[in-house]
Amino acid sequence: MLIDFLQTLRAARLPVSVRELLVLLEALKLGVLDDDEGRRLPSLDDFYVLARTIMVKDEAHFDRFDRAFSAYFKGVEMLTENLRELPEDWLRRTLERELSAEERSRLQALGWDELMETLKKRLEEQKERHEGGSKWIGTGGTSPFGHGGHNPRGIRIGGPGRERSAVKVWEQRAWRDYDDTVELGTRNIKIALRRLRRFAREGAETELDLDDTIHSTAANAGLLDIRLVPERHNKVKVLLLMDVGGTMDDHIPKVEELFSAAKSEFKHLEFYYFHNCVYDHVWKNNRRRHAEKLPTWDLIRKYNKDWKLILVGDATMSPYEITQIGGSVEFHNPEAGADWLQRLTRAFPKSAWINPEPQGVWPYRQSIAMIEQLMGHRMFPMSVAGLEQAMRLLSK
């Protein structure tokens, strides 16, 4: 059985060998998954944790392992954090409702404070499931609370998004890290990034200087006089902040190509993740984003002005996420996102925002215009031409 499991992992391009499989078998034989008194049978979740610990040596491969594990065991349920849950039946979607343009135009968008206060009242008052309505938490209706319906501004609770107009999202979401080993379909992205590279010679003299060797040999009456110089290293330091989750799911392949190219082109590269807008913390690993946060103030202190700051994101969000305290869809942010963007651009004078959204839609997204203004109009499309423009700006 586990031989086939090993082959599944290898098919997912995970660097695993028979040695890891033998260690896993030995762990099972020794009863690592058994409790002290042997009263509980190990679950599939227990085996998942043990197998991942033994088989995966790099956190960047966690997502590949999860997909291979799920495909092999068909329907494995991953462990999730416990949130305050509404009854599952309340959020079961069975109704597909389509509104006419006239009906949509009559829908009223609540203001931020009114939206939050109304949700609080609904949670206190609602006692049963609702579907297709305009007031209660439910599905398929015009209420601003629930999912699968129509409302110009609301709070999505569970379920899939439909119109992406929610200003808050109440659910446990698992995002995966961008894969930095993705093979590029074109070399143009790498070539565009090379405009930012700045080389300098440093270290011991280990590289042959051919021109100086020829000149010195000639000046030495033909006796060979070898000249060495230090190797040339790329001195550019890049701090990469990447938006992940939500609407960025549409752009994963593009961002992974950019991430892969940046990892290969820049020797000094540090990266972190954020969601929609930068707030008071960023993180390195999306699976542990709630437990392992780096305060943004520490980020600013850790990296000086020698670092070039590149933010990657579609800048598509509710304007409240930029301007309001508590506007984040993920948590209650104590300061507005605009304040943090201003601090970052002051701390890193050489900064740029790369946007994977087509430039033609930018004028129709209020949040994009706001982010572009906060960035001092240093926003560029994620195209070869856009990347070249951004690299030229950062290299000045």
User: Does residue 106 sit in the same domain as residue 11?
Assistant: no
Q: Is there a single domain that holds both residue 207 and residue 281?
A: no
Secondary structure E strands in 70-225: 130-131, 138-139, 145-147, 154-157, 166-170, 199-208
Residue 134: domain span = 88-170
The pLDDT assigned to 223 comes to: 84
Q: What is the pLDDT of residues 262-284, one digit of tens each?
A: 888 888 889 999 999 999 999 99
pLDDT (0 to 100) of residue 296:
95
Greatest mean pLDDT among 60-64, 329-333, 369-373: 369-373
Average pLDDT, stretch 208-225? 83
pLDDT above 80 (res 94): no
Provide the number of structural domains found in the chain: 4
Residue type (1 letter), 105: S
Q: Is residue 356 a part of any domain in this protein?
A: yes
Question: Does residue 361 share a domain with residue 249?
Answer: yes
CA 389 to centroid of chain Cα atoms = 24
The pLDDT value given to residue 6: 85
Give the neighbor-by-neighbor strand order of the sheet with 293-295: 293-295, 281-283, 268-274, 237-243, 307-312, 351-355, 379-381
pLDDT range class, residue 231, cuts 50, 70, 90: low
Both 150 and 29 in one domain: the answer is no
Per cent of the chain over pLDDT 90 is 21
| Predicted local distance difference test score (pLDDT) of residue 329 | 82
Q: In terms of domains, do 252 and 214 share one? A: no
Q: Are residues 93 and 69 in the same domain?
A: no
Label residue 202 by pLDDT band (50, 70, 90): very low
Specify whether the CB–CB gap between 146 and 138 falls below 8 A: yes
For residues 218 and 246, state if they share a domain: no
Q: What is the pLDDT of residue 77?
A: 39
Statement to judge: residues 239 and 289 lie in one domain:
yes
Report whether pLDDT(143) > 50: yes
Answer whether residue 199 shows pLDDT above 80.
no
Instruction: Note the pLDDT of residue 120.
Output: 63
Same domain, 104 and 64: no
Angle at alpha carbon of residue 111, lines to 127 and 126, rounded to 5°? 0
* 216, amino acid identity: S
SS3 label, residue 283 = strand
Q: In what order do the strands lie in the sheet with 145-147?
A: 130-131, 138-139, 145-147, 154-157, 166-170
pLDDT at 350 over 90: yes
Mean pLDDT of 60-82: 63
Show the beta-strand stretches assigned E in the chain.
130-131, 138-139, 145-147, 154-157, 166-170, 199-208, 228-234, 237-243, 268-274, 281-283, 293-295, 307-312, 351-355, 379-381
Residue 183 has pLDDT above 50, yes or no: no
Return the amino acid letter for 349: P
Judgement on whether residues 240 and 228 belong to the same structural domain of the protein:
no
pLDDT of residue 214: 87
For the chain, first and last CA: distance in Å?
59
